[in-house]
Structure 1
Amino acid sequence: MKKYLKYCLSAGLLLALSIGTVSTVSAESKVKTYKNCTELNKVYKGGVAISSSTKNKGGKTKYKPFVSKALYEANKKSDRDKDGIACEK
């Protein structure tokens, strides 16, 4: 009986760990890379910032940027002034 319980608990733990890993991978794959700033600004009017403490170097903007490190990393090529905000508007 103890061996059976031991095997069931081990299998349950392995299953839980594998499910947790799969959900993490699928969440990372949902990050979208946009072709250019026009496409990105249709969804995120103020652009995408790497963190909430990032300051804009380019001057005054109309909209506040959306904060997402993963989304910024996927669209880093669109950050022309390298201030940590891609496609600020």
Structure 2
Amino acid sequence: MFTGAAVVAAPAQAATTYANCKALNADYPHGVGKTGAVDSTSGTPVTDFTVDDDLYNANTKRDRDGDGIACEKR
């Protein structure tokens, strides 16, 4: 018979879903991308975005050009 205390893991913190790019860029000035994403701009690509798969997945609606980076900004 088990008489020890049960160990319960704390729930993982959910990634923030931002209302718009202005709000996301306030926390992540160059945007948020998934692993392996490359900016598809015809000019100078943004390379200094934050890579965070969970955060990107929570904000995929903010990736208008479908390149794997939400709210990319120079």
| Structure 1 residue runs without a partner (length 5+) | 1-5
Instruction: Name the residue aligned to 1:3.
Output: none
Cα 1:46–1:63 change in 2 (3 A) is farther
RMSD: 1.8
- The amino acid of 2:37's aligned partner reads T
TM-score, with length taken from structure 2: 0.81
Instruction: Look up the SS of the partner of 1:46 in the other structure.
Output: coil
- Among residues 67, 72, 76, which one is paired with 2:56 in the alignment? 72
Instruction: Name the residue aligned to 2:44.
Output: 60
Cα 1:38–1:70 change in 2 (3 A) is same
- Among residues 13, 33, 41, which one is paired with 1:49 in the alignment? 33
Instruction: Name the residue aligned to 1:32.
Output: 16
Q: Deviations over 1:39-86 (max 9, x none)?
A: 1111101100111x2111124245611111111111100000101000
Q: Which has the larger radius of gyration?
A: 1
Number of residue pairs the alignment of both structures matches: 72
Tell me which stretches of 4 or more aligned residues in structure 1 moved more than 4 Å: none
| Structure 2 residue runs without a partner (length 5+) | none
Q: Distance in 2 between matches of 1:63 and 1:39?
A: 20
Larger RCO (alpha carbons 8 Å, 6+ apart): 2
Percent sequence identity over matched residues? Answer: 36
Instruction: Name the residue aligned to 2:2.
Output: 7
